[in-house]
């Protein structure tokens, strides 16, 4: 590790709560803050250190809270500011820190700024957004992520101009060029810091700076960014100036952290955001892992073969090397924008769900990066796999469906692909118990609940010593008590092995060896260290153990290696695979 110091946000585990789907307290079918408050002891029992809460601010919910109409208030469906204060205190009393979601690439079109801005070009708020005056003709094309026509410019009659929205037309992009707008955003941030929140996860933060000469960039996007608009959007001219200014104006004097959603950036740019002496952000999460197993262009279209492990090892190893120099990484395998972790990276069949979920947890909790778990992953919740468009609530799926419909594309194929990749797979209500509606609500849930709740639920998991949930709790504890798992150097072995992911974590004179079978095959595997014949693994996600054979999805941790046997990292690299080290 570079000299960057130890920090609570490096050592902790993040648990993401999607409030709409976590726990409903009043029977309206929508999860809420009192619902989360009722589960505070459960959160504490997980051993997690930070909660990242998806947006809870005032919002008309075009994109489930990512379209904010009031940054200083709580969404009506979610409760009140008093509820929020109780939640914050309840978390802090349990030594859990709270990261809020900061969404400042765009507001809702129902935010007072935009309501004013769209009245007239003379409005004081007109310059809070990006406009293209209609007298200059049609604006140069920009792609919109959630627009049914794919066009990020929408015409507004009163001002005779088009406004920009990288996401839905109800989410106009904020003009960061305007210093007054930036100050208004910093004020929002200071408000929440003063309240005592411990940081922000920053939504689409790499998109905030735009080239306001509005060149025609279609060729550029095609040639340089592989037709992926996110790449272009994440490269605005003043991005890093703004982030530096933001840090200075809002975070000085507060012991807080930030987690950037870094869509569109490449690995060689990561340190521009999080190198410590650049004083911008603290952590980011990248999308390179998340794109594995999907086709590059178009909507997220899964490759039936699934992600390739050799590729996956390459990606996570490369990112580890970056943060070995400076900054700090995070690691995740699912969130509210992704399908369920076990369905995508493991195997959610009856036979392998438990074991593969435990294997994935072992991976996340033994890498050198702050692990982020998404609510429900700790009990191994799975994709719901809707088969008709009417079941979906997500604007991304619904508008992509309309878009493809207008282009006369294959909708059957799209619906089939969405069973693998749709965001709603990860957003179905939390399965608390086997009572009606999984104990999530007494009313009608806003999104269908997965039928498997009768057996797959928190209550069942809590009363079973060998459940995914109990494994999760034990692994979180292990990470907490094993500095080598947090700060230790990471070294990959057998990088070309198509099914097994093997690595060590070494700190001072302590080394742990992690062996993960990512496949549903039983594998004869020669562990690249000489292990004593009677060795017992420190962690095993199943009851059986055999030195020469890995069971499907088996996860093993050996160690720590006694100090006298340790070899230096450099020496290990030279040894490469074998076998002078004995545990
Ligand atoms: O996502 C921003 C982003 O980069 C999206 O393109 C994301 O990759 C996509 O939704 C995945 O399918 C953030 C939020 O995480 C997302 O939930 C919001 O919908 C979006 O911003 C707009 O605020
Ligand atoms: Ca409710």
Q: What is the pLDDT of residues 290-331, one digit of tens each?
A: 999 998 777 889 988 888 999 999 999 999 999 999 999 999
- Catalytic residue, chosen from 32, 109, 261, 572, is 261
- Catalytic residue, chosen from 62, 77, 203, 394, is 203
> In angstroms, what is the span from residue 204 Cα to ligand 1's centroid?
7
The CATH T-level fold of domain 112-164 is Oligo-1,6-glucosidase; domain 2 (3.90.400)
Q: Are the CB atoms for 230 and 152 separated by under 8 Å?
A: no
Residue with the smallest CA separation from ligand 1 atom 9 is 337
Which ligand lies nearest the alpha carbon of 144? 1
Tokens of 189: 């941030």
> In angstroms, what is the span from residue 423 Cα to ligand 1's centroid?
10
Using most ligand atoms within 8 A of CB, pick from 225, 298, 337 the residue to mutate for ligand 1.
Answer: 337
Can you give the pLDDT at residue 558?
A: 94
Can you give the pLDDT at residue 529?
A: 85
Q: Which residue's structure tokens are 């999907």?
A: 294
Q: Which residue's structure tokens are 């000489």?
A: 530
Which ligand lies nearest the alpha carbon of 34? 2
CA distance 191 to 57: 13
| Size of the chain in residues | 583
378 is catalytic: no
**Architecture in CATH for domain 487-582:** Sandwich (2.60)
How large is the angle between the packed helices 239-250 and 179-195, nearest 10 degrees?
A: 40
Can you give the pLDDT at residue 305?
A: 81
Domain 3-105+179-476 identical in fold to domain 487-582: no
- List all residues whose CB is within 6 A of at least one atom of ligand 1: 63, 66, 103, 145, 167, 203-204, 261, 263, 336-337, 396, 423
- Average pLDDT over every residue of 464-491: 96
Look up the CATH superfamily of 3-105+179-476: Glycosidases (3.20.20.80)
pTM for the whole structure: 0.96
Instruction: Give me the residues near ligand 2 (ion), CB cutoff below 5 Å.
Output: 24, 26, 28, 30, 32
Can you give the pLDDT at residue 4?
A: 57
Confidence check: pLDDT of 575 > 50:
no
365 exposed, middle or buried (CB, 10 Å; 0-12, 13-18, 19+)? buried
CA distance 221 to 231: 8
> In angstroms, what is the span from residue 435 Cα to ligand 1's centroid?
33
404-461: pLDDT as tens digits: 999 999 999 999 999 999 999 999 999 999 999 999 999 999 999 999 999 999 999 9
Tokens of 519: 């496949």
**Per-domain residue ranges of the chain:** 3-105+179-476, 112-164, 487-582
């Amino acid at each position: 590790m570079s000299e960057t110091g130890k920090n609570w946000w490096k050592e902790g585990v993040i648990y993401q709560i999607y409030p709409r789907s976590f726990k409903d307290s009043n029977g309206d079918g929508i999860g809420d803050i009192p619902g989360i408050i009722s589960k505070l002891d459960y959160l504490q029992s997980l051993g997690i250190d930070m909660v990242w809460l998806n947006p809870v601010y005032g919002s008309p919910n075009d994109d489930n809270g990512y379209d904010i109409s009031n940054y200083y208030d709580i969404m009506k469906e979610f409760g009140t500011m008093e509820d929020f204060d109780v939640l914050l205190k309840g978390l802090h009393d349990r030594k859990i820190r709270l990261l809020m979601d900061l969404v400042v690439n765009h507001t809702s079109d129902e935010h007072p700024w935009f309501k004013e801005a769209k009245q007239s070009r003379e409005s004081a708020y007109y310059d809070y957004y990006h406009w293209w005056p209609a007298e200059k003709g049609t604006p140069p094309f920009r792609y919109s992520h959630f627009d049914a026509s794919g066009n990020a410019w929408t015409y507004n009659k009163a001002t005779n101009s088009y406004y920009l929205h990288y996401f839905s037309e109800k989410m106009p992009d904020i003009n960061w060029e305007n210093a007054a707008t930036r100050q208004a955003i910093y004020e929002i941030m200071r408000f929440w810091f003063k309240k005592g929140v411990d940081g922000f996860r920053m939504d689409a933060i790499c998109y905030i700076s735009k080239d306001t000469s509005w060149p025609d960039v279609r060729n550029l996007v095609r040639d340089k960014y592989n037709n992926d608009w996110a790449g272009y959007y994440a490269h605005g001219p003043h991005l890093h100036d703004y982030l530096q200014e933001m840090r200075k104006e809002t975070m000085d004097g507060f012991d807080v952290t930030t987690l950037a959603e870094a869509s569109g950036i490449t690995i060689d740019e990561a340190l521009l955001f999080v190198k410590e002496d650049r004083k911008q952000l603290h952590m980011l999460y990248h999308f390179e892992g998340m794109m594995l197993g999907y086709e590059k262009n178009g909507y997220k279209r899964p490759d039936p073969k699934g992600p390739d492990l050799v590729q996956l090892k390459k990606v996570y190893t490369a990112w580890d090397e970056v943060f070995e120099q400076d900054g700090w990484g995070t690691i995740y395998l699912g969130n509210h924008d992704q399908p369920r972790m076990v369905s995508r990276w493991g195997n959610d069949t009856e036979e392998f769900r438990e074991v593969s979920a435990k294997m994935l947890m072992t991976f996340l909790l033994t890498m050198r990066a702050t692990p982020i778990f998404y609510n429900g992953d700790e009990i191994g919740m799975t994709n719901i796999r809707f088969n008709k468009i009417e079941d979906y609530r997500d604007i991304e799926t619904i508008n992509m469906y309309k878009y493809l419909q207008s282009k006369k594309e294959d909708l059957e194929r799209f619906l089939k692909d969405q069973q693998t990749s749709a965001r709603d797979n990860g957003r179905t209500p939390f399965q608390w118990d086997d009572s009606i509606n999984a104990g999530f609500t007494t009313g009608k849930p806003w999104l269908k609940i997965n039928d498997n709740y009768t057996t797959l639920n928190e209550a069942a998991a809590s009363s079973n010593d060998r459940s995914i949930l109990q494994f999760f709790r034990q692994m979180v504890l292990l990470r907490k008590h094993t500095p080598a798992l947090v700060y230790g150097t990471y070294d990959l072995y057998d990088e070309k092995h198509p099914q097994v992911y093997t690595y060590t974590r070494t700190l001072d004179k302590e080394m742990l060896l992690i062996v993960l079978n990512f496949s549903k095959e039983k594998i004869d595997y020669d562990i690249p260290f000489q292990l004593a014949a009677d060795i017992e693994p420190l962690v095993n996600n199943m009851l059986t153990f055999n030195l020469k054979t890995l069971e499907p999805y088996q996860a093993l941790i050996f160690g720590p290696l006694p100090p006298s046997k340790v070899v230096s990292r450099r020496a290990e690299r030279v040894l490469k695979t074998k076998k002078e080290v004995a545990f």
